[in-house]
Amino acid sequence: MPSRKPGVNAPEPFRQQLLDTLPRLRRYARSLSFDHANADDLVQTTAERALAHWHQFDQRRDIRVWLLSIAHNAHLDRIRREQRYTLVDPDQLAERREAPAPGDPGLRMDLLAALARLSVAHREVLLLVGVEQLSYAECAEVLGVPAGTVMSRLARARVAMRAALDGGAARPEAAPNLRRVV
């Protein structure tokens, strides 16, 4: 009788690829949630889903993209589930983060605070392209949106980050000058 534990029947190469991707997956999860416990839960949920559905993985694809897609969907599921119970102000997310460790540079805290102020859609695109170094096409695949949407969200996220890191005022070059051509 086959085992009911997820991933027991997964082939060894698949399990090794999953293990190799866990550090990047954890970094992405921590950047999304700003909470170590929630990030660890997200990584565990992602790994469980991947192991339970290993047979659906197309070997021609990059496992990293597949796992980030699972993590993205699990994160959205969690947000939807939490929204049924409580409404959270985005400013409260920055307050819920852990206190910085002694010796953390101020720039890191400014960066984390600026990331916390971004919308989830903008933060995800910025993290996937900027930190995880996915291409626009791979990011679009992870998020389930067109590549053009990825590019526009990324541009808006960068402008918002610049404005937040400059003390709330956007640089003149960040705001395009619009003119009417007659």
Residue 6 predicted with pLDDT over 60? no
| Long-range pairs for 1-10: beta carbons < 8 A, 24 or more residues apart | 6/48, 6/51, 6/52, 7/48, 7/50, 7/51, 7/52, 7/54, 9/54, 10/51, 10/54
CATH code: domain of residue 22? 1.20.140.160
Cα four-point dihedral sign 129, 149, 140, 19 = positive
Question: Band of the pLDDT at 162, cuts 50, 70, 90?
Answer: confident
| Mean pLDDT value of segment 25-45 | 90
Residue 92 lies in a domain: yes
How does residue 108 score in pLDDT terms, banded at 50, 70 and 90?
Answer: low
Number of domains in the chain: 1
Q: Does the residue 5 lie in any domain?
A: no
Report yes or no on 7 lying in a domain: no
Q: Is residue 99 part of a domain?
A: yes
**170 occurs within a structural domain:** yes
pTM over 0.85: no
**How much of the chain exceeds pLDDT 90, in percent?**
30
Amino acid occupying residue 131: V
| Range of the structural domain that residue 92 is part of | 12-178
In a domain, 6, yes or no: no
105, 89, 114: which is closest to 164 by C-alpha?
Answer: 114
- In a domain, residue 124? The reply is yes
Mean pLDDT of 33-62: 88
